[in-house]
Every structure is written in structure tokens, then in C-alpha cells.
Amino acid sequence: MANAERKKILEMVASGRLTVEQADQLMDLLSTRSATDAEKQPEGQRTGEYTQEFIGRIRGYGKGMEKELRAAGLKWDRSDPDLKMYGISAAYIRGLQEAGLGELTVEEIISLKNNHVDTDYVRALMDLDMPDLTVKQIITLKNYGLDGDYIRGLQEAGIADLTTKHCINLKNHEVDAAYIRALREAGLINLTVKQIIVLKTYEVSADEVRAWREAGLNDLTVEHILALKKYGV
């Protein structure tokens, strides 16, 4: 592999177009091909210059990727990154579309793949009552370790109109569906996400709420509960 090729790959890593692992794989590939390529090239092109053929080889542009993108219903643009370089196949793209992500850009597809978002994960989220989920929100939920089962549990526990931010905040405060259900069964209904998080932060249990109610405190509010908790009642 020529120094110019190595330099170009390193530039692509620096710009974020390639990961270090992908760069290593590409260098290995070019190293194995360099001898054969050199024999096939005319003398004038064995200088390591950035010929169009070289740039195309580095970036992976070609008919193969164009065919795969078109098979998945996407318009191919020679300025787009090479999806094969990221381990992305036409089947993966079609799977995302069938899961509910209709119109995707090449950059969005790469982001989903790089964040280990598979079609099953997308389908589970799209089946939830969370309208207008964006690719960015899906990736955020994935990175916070949130899946369809966790979110569905929150919804079934009685939290309506869940947003991505709500889910992340509840997860960060270790609030699960069981805790919410227990509070509701103890008489605390129509709680907001913020109120649930406050109760969790102050370690208020459903048993405590039930005991206060049995003692005659039937009109408990969150503010009342926090005051009782503060004074150890």
C-alpha cells in the first residue's frame, strides 16, 4: 500500500468518516491488492497521486453499493459514505424501513448501525404509543439501555404521553413499572413523571403511603408525603 493511500485513510479517520477498526481493515485490504494493482496501472499512475480511481477505491464508491442502495429504495449519491464499509447491507436497510423507519438518509443509517440498533429494537419501539420517534431519539434510547419492554411497562403502569426524555429520566432514577404500580395501588394516582422521580429520590415506598392512609391521612399530596418523610413520621 502506498504512503498516499495510508495518508488518505488516516485523514478519513481524523474526519470521522472511518473508525480505527475500519481503517485497519481497509489498510489490510489495500496491502493485499497493492502489488496486483501496481502491475495493472499505467506507468504514469504509479505515483501515489489522488487519482479518481484511487479515491473511488478508498471510499468504496461503485456499482455494487449503488445497486444495494437502490434495491433498498434509496437514492445513491457519490458523495455519500460507503455503507459496505460500515457493514451495512441492503437487507439491513429494508429491515429498518419495514420496522417503521420509512425515509432514512445514509447518515442516519450509518448512525443506527454504529450504535448497534437492529431492526428488532426499532420494531419494538415503533410498536409503542410514542408518536413521531426520530432516529436520534431511537439512538438515545439505545445508548441509555432502554428497550421496548421497559417503556411498555411504564405505559401499562399508568404513565400516559411518555416522551423520550421522560423515559431517560425515569431510568436514570431507577424507577421501574413495579414501583409506579405499587404507588398507584397505594392510592397515588395521576402522578406526573416529575412527582414519581421525587418520591423515588426520597425513597418513599408504597407501604409507607398505605400506612399513612390507614392512619387516617386520606388526602395525601406529594408535598404532604415529603413532609412526613422528612420528619420521620
Buried b / exposed e over 183-216, threshold 16 CB at 10 Å, is: beebebeebebebbbbbbeeebebebbbebeeee
Q: Note the helical H segments in 41-89.
A: 52-59, 63-71
Q: Do 112 and 138 contact (CB within 8 A), yes or no?
A: yes
pTM reported for the whole predicted model: 0.64
| pLDDT given for residue 47 in this prediction | 44
Calculate mean pLDDT across residues 107-121: 94
Say yes or no: 153 and 215 in one domain.
Answer: yes
Say yes or no: 158 and 221 in one domain.
Answer: yes
Tell me, yes or no, whether 168 lies in a domain. Answer: yes
Question: What residues contact 13, with CB distance under 8 A and at least 6 apart?
Answer: 19, 20, 23
Say yes or no: 222 and 148 in one domain.
Answer: yes
Say yes or no: 38 and 76 in one domain.
Answer: no
Last residue of a domain, one of 102, 128, 154: 128
Say yes or no: 23 and 36 in one domain.
Answer: yes
Tell me, yes or no, whether 226 lies in a domain. Answer: yes
Per the prediction, the chain carries an average pLDDT of: 80
| pLDDT given for residue 97 in this prediction | 92
- Chain centroid to Cα 73, Å, comes to 22
User: Which of residues 138 and 218 earns the better pLDDT score?
Assistant: 138
| pLDDT given for residue 160 in this prediction | 81
Say yes or no: 163 and 197 in one domain.
Answer: yes
Say yes or no: 151 and 170 in one domain.
Answer: yes
The count of domains in the chain is 3
Tell me, yes or no, whether 136 lies in a domain. Answer: no
Alpha carbon distance 73, 95 (integer Å): 12
- Chain centroid to Cα 167, Å, comes to 14
Say yes or no: 73 and 116 in one domain.
Answer: yes
Question: What residues contact 174, with CB distance under 8 A and at least 6 apart?
Answer: 200
Say yes or no: 109 and 166 in one domain.
Answer: no
Distances (CA, A) of 13 to 17, 21, 26, 27: 6, 10, 11, 12
Q: Do 58 and 68 contact (CB within 8 A), yes or no?
A: no
Tell me, yes or no, whether 138 lies in a domain. Answer: no
Say yes or no: 50 and 6 in one domain.
Answer: yes
Question: Residue with C-alpha cell 398505605?
Answer: 210
| pLDDT given for residue 20 in this prediction | 67
The parent domain of residue 224 ranges over 144-230
Say yes or no: 19 and 47 in one domain.
Answer: yes
| pLDDT given for residue 81 in this prediction | 58
Say yes or no: 161 and 218 in one domain.
Answer: yes
Tell me, yes or no, whether 134 lies in a domain. Answer: no
Last residue of a domain, one of 75, 99, 128: 128
Tell me, yes or no, whether 222 lies in a domain. Answer: yes
Tell me, yes or no, whether 137 lies in a domain. Answer: no
Counting beta carbons within 10 angstroms of the beta carbon of residue 37, is it exposed (0 to 12), middle (13 to 18) or buried (19 or more)? Answer: middle
**Cβ–Cβ contacts within 10 Å for residue 227, how many?**
11
